A and B are shown apart, each in its own frame.
Chain A
Amino acid sequence: MLAQVDTFVGPEVNWFALSPLIALVAGALLMMLAGALTPRWPNGLYALACATTAGTAGALAMVQWDDITDNGPTTLVAGAVAFDTFSMFVTILICVSIILVAMLADDYLRGTPNDGPEIYALLLTAGAGGVVMASANDLIVLFLGLETLSLALYVLAASNRRSNRSGESGIKYFVLGGFASAFFLYGIALVYGATGTTNISEMVVALQNTVDLETPDGLALAGVALLLVGLGFKVAAVPFHIWTPDVYQGAPSPVTAFMASVAKAAAFAAMLRVLVIALPFYRDDWRPVIWVLALLSLLVGSVVAVVQTDVKRMLAYSSISHAGFLLVGVEAAGHTAGELDPGSGMSAVMLYLMLYSVMVIGSFAVVLVVQRHAGGDSSIEAFRGLSMRRPAIATAFTVFLLAQAGVPFTSGFIAKFGVIQAAVDVDSYAIAVIAMVSAVIAAFVYLRIMLTVWTGTPAENSEPIRVPLAVGVTIAGAAVFTLFAGIIPGWLIDATDTVTQYAR
């Protein structure tokens, strides 16, 4: 009993190392508190506060990055949190995404009942959850992060109270997400039963030290399978993807952009943590599952996207096929998981996540502009003749779509090249070929949208499309980054190469 212990010594906490996370949470709490106690702030100030908080957290993460590259990775708070470049990379990615989404949300929320600090505080909270997921060194901590991210996202998805679709998407995401969380938690429980710990560092040691070929390890394998179900749901891999199109379509466009970038990045970071870092012992067991998930996601994502008539649904299915590409990288990382030479799979996935986040936020920003003009209609007809009315927006949209298709000189090519090369490096030729074939199928979808944008003639009642300044800046910034990272990707590749030096 605790009462019989004379003195309880708490774990030593290196507060500064946790500063990015603390900045996000403190920013969210302060915004809620100050926003509730003061009258309405001037236009744009809520978004500015949100972006400033995320920027501060991102800058702090960069400071930590230097510290880690100088002194090596370590664990914090008695081994509960990993302090490595892997977690810092995801932190920076999430912070950049929050800034971009806050800029989109500002104009979207004006004049609605949500024009307050709450949405922005939820964005920051969800971001904090994502950071916890990426930097967890304990499965319970990872689950806490998962729930923080998910609960905030359920509310965000349902946040447009004037739209029934938004409420529907929130409920759908909530029910299915709760189900997936339960799977994940059961997986943690079974893995705990098999290894006697939830801590990732101790788990690796326990699995290596108790190699016993006599007793079957069905308990641990069942746990790994359940963990895969939970993670597969969060990354929207194919047998667990049913929620994606409806939720992406129904949720407000800034929230959809947030889900496609932050939630996906955090879920893939968690997947790498659990599979590659914590369970390399079972890599030959989970790798075929990832292989099948990747195959199905690639094919279903790209083929079903072709028959959609709504651009948001098309982008939702394309995000499923992107998840397939990312899973190709995870599969490649699985070949060398736990070895001294970690291979290029993890770096390729991280690079893909960073590049994809920016281009998908850019894409949904364009959808947001067009959708608002068309009175909430995001069908492909609403995009007809966009080039005649807003040539700059149409050009930026083309850049994003080409990047998603993986055309050279855009960041999408670098991303796809990275994961396919990682797969080829470990002789995983079959999935690499399938990925390339599915990229060709998916290109048809993007070409179809581009054709509508560039060749159609706009409808008769064509008022000028209003592009708010912040949204325009977001689209321009994302387009410039997409081209810049496509032409000069070296610095980003160097940064992602260090993420394999993870703490454990």
Chain B
Amino acid sequence: MSQYLPLVVLLALAVVFGILSFFASRLLAPRRPSSAKEAPYECGIVPSREPPERFPVSFYVVAMLFIMFDIEIIFLYPYAVNHSTLGFYGFWAILFFSVIFFATFVYEVARGGLDWGPMQRYRQLATDAAMVTPERTLASTVRRVGTEGREPESSSPSAA
């Protein structure tokens, strides 16, 4: 056990250093707060609003794909270096591993892991039918640009 003594000493030193510097900065440092010092960032754009709570997670799915390939290459690389000594046992093992890996890849792609852009939804027949009903008129489908929200002029009332 004695060979671990330096490790224990190092651990104790780290803890002592942490505690000492924590209290030393409290005792010794001058305290002159200003609004610039209190701000989250010292430079850059001034934050004016809370960040949105929900954000698209497409990149997270891509990161998952990356990790999958990453793990495969971690195992494939040592196998490729030693494939002659590992022989058929290694070959079948790595093939089996690759098949299972491929299954996860197929799963993710089939679940839309590579679909980008706005969310794709299956088209509903009901909405298609609504496109060709006789109720649709020029006034209900075409909106005149620029008339919304304007001050209504006295001479010509704005179109609906």
Residues of A bordering B, CB below 8 Å? 2-3, 5-10, 29, 32-33, 36-37, 216, 218-219
Tell me the smallest distance from the CB of A372 to a CB of chain B, in Å.
Answer: 28
A32 to B87, CA, bound (A): 32
Say yes or no: B85 contacts A5, CB within 8 Å.
Answer: yes
Q: Which chain A residues border B86 with CB–CB below 8 Å?
A: 8
Say yes or no: B87 contacts A7, CB within 8 Å.
Answer: yes
B138 part of interface (Cβ distance < 8 Å): no
Interchain residue pairs with CB less than 8 A apart (10) = A2-B82, A3-B82, A7-B85, A7-B87, A8-B85, A10-B89, A10-B93, A32-B103, A33-B107, A219-B1
B110 part of interface (Cβ distance < 8 Å): yes
* Interface residue from B1, B90, B100 paired with A10 (Cβ < 8 Å): B90
Q: Which residue of A lies closest to B1 (CB)?
A: A218
* Interface residue from B81, B85, B90, B110 paired with A37 (Cβ < 8 Å): B110
Say yes or no: A8 contacts B89, CB within 8 Å.
Answer: yes
A29 to B106, CA, bound (A): 11
Say yes or no: B107 contacts A216, CB within 8 Å.
Answer: no
Say yes or no: A3 contacts B89, CB within 8 Å.
Answer: no
What are the 3 A-B residue pairs with the smallest beta carbon separation, nearest first? Answer: A10-B89, A36-B110, A36-B107
B111 part of interface (Cβ distance < 8 Å): yes
Q: Which chain B residues border A6 with CB–CB below 8 Å?
A: 85
Q: Which chain A residues border B111 with CB–CB below 8 Å?
A: 36
A29 to B105, CA, bound (A): 12
Q: Which chain A residues border B93 with CB–CB below 8 Å?
A: 10
Q: Which chain B residues border A32 with CB–CB below 8 Å?
A: 103-104, 107
Say yes or no: A216 contacts B103, CB within 8 Å.
Answer: no
Tell me the smallest distance from the CB of B9 to a CB of chain A, in Å.
Answer: 17
* Interface residue from A3, A8, A216 paired with B81 (Cβ < 8 Å): A3
Q: Which chain B residues border A216 with CB–CB below 8 Å?
A: 1
Say yes or no: A29 contacts B103, CB within 8 Å.
Answer: yes
Contact string, B27-41, partner A, CB cutoff 8 A, digits 1/0?
000000000000000
Chain B, 96-133, CB within 8 A of any chain A CB: 100, 103-104, 106-107, 110-111
Chain B, 76-95, CB within 8 A of any chain A CB: 81-82, 85-87, 89-90, 93
7 new A-B contacts at CB < 8 Å, known A9-B89, A216-B1: A3-B81, A7-B85, A8-B86, A10-B93, A33-B106, A36-B106, A219-B1
Q: Which chain B residues border A10 with CB–CB below 8 Å?
A: 89-90, 93
Q: Which chain A residues border B90 with CB–CB below 8 Å?
A: 8, 10
A2 to B81, CA, bound (A): 10
Tell me the smallest distance from the CB of B53 to a CB of chain A, in Å.
Answer: 13
Q: Which residue of A lies closest to B99 (CB)?
A: A29
Q: Which chain B residues border A218 with CB–CB below 8 Å?
A: 1
Q: Which residue of A lies closest to B93 (CB)?
A: A10
Q: Which chain B residues border A7 with CB–CB below 8 Å?
A: 85, 87
Q: Which residue of B lies closest to A217 (CB)?
A: B1
A3 to B104, CA, bound (A): 31
Chain B, 46-88, CB within 8 A of any chain A CB: 81-82, 85-87
A10 to B82, CA, bound (A): 14
A32 to B111, CA, bound (A): 10
A23 to B24, CA, bound (A): 62
Q: Which residue of B lies closest to A33 (CB)?
A: B103
Tell me the smallest distance from the CB of A343 to a CB of chain B, in Å.
Answer: 34
Tell me the smallest distance from the CB of A155 to a CB of chain B, in Å.
Answer: 13
Tell me the smallest distance from the CB of B1 to a CB of chain A, in Å.
Answer: 6
* Interface residue from B1, B87, B100, B103 paired with A8 (Cβ < 8 Å): B87
Say yes or no: A37 contacts B89, CB within 8 Å.
Answer: no
Tell me the smallest distance from the CB of B68 to a CB of chain A, in Å.
Answer: 14
Tell me the smallest distance from the CB of A454 to a CB of chain B, in Å.
Answer: 46
Say yes or no: B82 contacts A29, CB within 8 Å.
Answer: no
Q: Which residue of B lies closest to A25 (CB)?
A: B100
Q: Which residue of A lies closest to B86 (CB)?
A: A8
A36 to B105, CA, bound (A): 11
